[in-house]
Structure 1
Amino acid sequence: MKLGVFSVLFAQKTFEESLDYIASKGLDAIEIGTGGYPGNAHCDPAELLADESKLKAFKDAIDARGLTISAFSCHGNPLHPQKAIASEHDAAIRNSIKLASKLGVTVVNTFSGCPGDHEDAKYPNWPVAPWPNDYQDILKWQWEEKVIPYWSEIAKLATEHNVKIGLELHGGFSVHTPATLLRLREAAGDAIGANLDPSHMWWQGIDPVQAVHILGRAGAIHHFHAKDTSIDPINVNSHGVTDMQSYTLMLDRAWQFRTVGYGHDMKTWADIISALRLVGYDYVVSIEHEDGLMSVDEGFTKAVENLQQILIREPVGDMWWV
């Protein structure tokens, strides 16, 4: 396995400054934002695809620091009922796939998106209950008319470019659990897999180790994010796991994102890393920092230090004791 970071943390730095900083921490890989919600401060795919000299300079800067690109990430909502938003996010996905193919990057990460509840809707509608039956009707329409057709098309494009799609299982979007990911994968093909982030499993009440087993046995883990979550045992009784309060209200929220080791202990994280190795995932563990109690530098540094202790780097040898 290799250790990397989702570099949108350092959008305030120049590209070269961010690369120098990441390399100074002893990391192996970088996951780069290419549009959508994370933005494209360090990598505009359309610009690089149109200019070979800029593309070469971009690649040379990464190679010179001994880093590899684990994924291009353009998390957005290409199924948004407002066409302007959907079109922008769709273009980011398609251009990211083309750029990934050109540079030999194997994964493009994003969200599945979430449609509205009918063709003239203005906002996404995320059904979370099977009754009243209206919600089932919405869900059926979304999947049959929007989710499956769109991602079947994108999966075909990705396959043609020898790229895999890592969908982050995130609340608010149609694909948010191992089961919904596997449903889409069955319909759209094996190019579709997960960018598995344990933080979103914990707040939904899903054990990340079991999520690794469920998805890993199906060969459906394409990328992995390292981010933690803490659940407040008092506040969760007031607000539930679908707490709609702002992330800034940390004292009152039911749960909040933390850096690695500050929501769950390192034995839990070691179990996750071991489960990844067990199901055959030996790619990049990419740090994502969204901890409201720590600065970017401190939260990122602590995640690096904690993960360096438990990451399994070397190939498995023969079982000499057997």
Structure 2
Amino acid sequence: MKLGMLTACLPGWDLDRIATFAAAEGYERLEVAVWPGTGGRDFEAAHLPVATFTDEDASATRDLLDRTGLEISALAYYENNLHQDPARREEVRAHLRHAIDAAQVLGVPYVGTFIGRDNTKSVRENMAEGDRVLPELVDYAGERGVRLIIENCVMEGWHPDGYPGNIAYSPELWEWVTGLGFGLNWDPSHLTWIGIDPVETILPFAEHIVHAQAKDVELFPDRRDRYGFFGKVDKGDDPWEMGWWRFRVPGRGVVDWPHVVDRLYEAGFDGTLSVEHEDPLWSGEDVKVLEGLRIAHRTLRPLIAVDERP
């Protein structure tokens, strides 16, 4: 197991600066954000220009990795592959193909994305649509030696009423997701707030969990008693404001990280545990984001065995 970090928390930094920081702090791998950089959510970072990726870009990226001693564990483009707007869906699919092509050139094994959801349809109807349109993407990646991996984020902010906007949020749905050929980019924070014990999901899906994200969550049950499970009705201008929970960096929430890492080892996991920093207490300024990443590293580094083999 290697300790990595998702670069999306530093959208204003270039990859060289991020890699220099990550290596100095003891991170071993980068999960590199490759959104188009056209706006939207503030974590839609563009740290590799995959849509226009040239031989020069590839060479510069390899030189950076050689210089810092880092590896890229995955490229990250988490968008809605079942979007109800056909034009938007095709934009997402086209950029995902660009990410796959760049991963092939760089020898990166995984590209992370979401299943997503058509909010005008039920989960069952979305599954039927996924059966129709998603295998093409899985095949496109596989033909290039790349595997698509799906994060189990609920993406409640994509739905106007806080319902799941990404239909990969439960082990029941993972059976369908993995049956289509996707791997899992497993994240315990999302499981925790929807009432699923993350530790108990690891062994049943051990062969499919090929990458993992390290994000924590803080719960406020007294506020849930007011808002209910689906969160605030009046979210103001923030569709992600649920009111009764918030993301935290590892070690500052309720996830039992020693137990999680131990069970991942039991499952034979030898991939990357990648810190995904979305903690609002350690955001807003670069100095705070960096300290959040240091807190996460201090929490997780002692739990991960050091490979001293030559």
Shorter-chain TM-score above 0.5:
yes
Q: 1:55 to 1:197 in 2, by over 3 A?
A: same
**Residue of structure 2 in register with 1:154 after alignment:** 137
**For 1:44 and 1:247, how far apart are their aligned partners in 2?**
30
1:100 maps to 2:126: no
**For 1:141 and 1:311, how far apart are their aligned partners in 2?**
41
Letter in 2 for 1:202: T
Give the drift of 1:310. 1.1
1:53 maps to 2:46: no
**Residue of structure 2 in register with 1:133 after alignment:** none
- Whether contact under 8 Å (1:197, 1:224) holds in the other structure is yes
**Residue of structure 1 in register with 2:269 after alignment:** 281
Instruction: Give per-residue Cα distances to partners, 1:16-70, cap 9 Å, x unaligned.
Output: 211111111011100101126643522111211xx21222112211221000000
**Residue of structure 1 in register with 2:204 after alignment:** 214
SS at match of 2:221: coil
- Whether contact under 8 Å (2:19, 2:68) holds in the other structure is yes
**Residue of structure 2 in register with 1:194 after alignment:** 184
- Whether contact under 8 Å (1:113, 1:173) holds in the other structure is yes
Give the drift of 1:141. 2.4
1:19 maps to 2:19: yes
Give the drift of 1:225. 0.4
5+ residue gaps, structure 2, are 155-164, 283-287
**For 1:183 and 1:250, how far apart are their aligned partners in 2?**
26
**For 1:92 and 1:40, how far apart are their aligned partners in 2?**
14
**For 1:279 and 1:73, how far apart are their aligned partners in 2?**
24
- Whether contact under 8 Å (2:178, 2:184) holds in the other structure is no
SS at match of 2:294: helix
Aligned match for 2:150, one of 161, 167, 188: 167
**For 2:149 and 2:237, how far apart are their aligned partners in 1?**
25
**Residue of structure 1 in register with 2:290 after alignment:** 297
Q: 1:162 to 1:140 in 2, by over 3 A?
A: same
Letter in 2 for 1:69: I
TM-score (norm 1): 0.83
- Whether contact under 8 Å (2:100, 2:146) holds in the other structure is yes
Q: 1:44 to 1:82 in 2, by over 3 A?
A: same
Of 24-33 and 86-95, more deviation after overlay is shown by 86-95
- Whether contact under 8 Å (2:261, 2:304) holds in the other structure is yes
**For 1:229 and 1:237, how far apart are their aligned partners in 2?**
18
Q: Counterparts in 2 of 1:1-322, with a 5 A limit?
A: 1-35=1-35, 38-48=43-53, 51-117=54-120, 125=121, 138-144=122-128, 146-171=129-154, 172-186=165-179, 188-189=180-181, 192-216=182-206, 219-244=207-232, 245=235, 253-264=243-254, 268-294=256-282, 295-314=288-307
**For 2:131 and 2:236, how far apart are their aligned partners in 1?**
31
Give the drift of 1:242. 2.2
- Whether contact under 8 Å (2:230, 2:242) holds in the other structure is no
**For 1:45 and 1:205, how far apart are their aligned partners in 2?**
37
Give the drift of 1:315. 8.4
SS at match of 1:75: strand
- Whether contact under 8 Å (2:151, 2:184) holds in the other structure is yes
**For 1:283 and 1:249, how far apart are their aligned partners in 2?**
33
Larger radius of gyration: 1
Q: 1:246 to 1:60 in 2, by over 3 A?
A: farther
**For 1:140 and 1:250, how far apart are their aligned partners in 2?**
24
- Whether contact under 8 Å (1:6, 1:286) holds in the other structure is yes
5+ residue gaps, structure 1, are 118-124, 126-137, 317-322
**For 2:130 and 2:76, how far apart are their aligned partners in 1?**
19
Letter in 1 for 2:172: A
**For 1:163 and 1:34, how far apart are their aligned partners in 2?**
15
SS at match of 1:41: coil
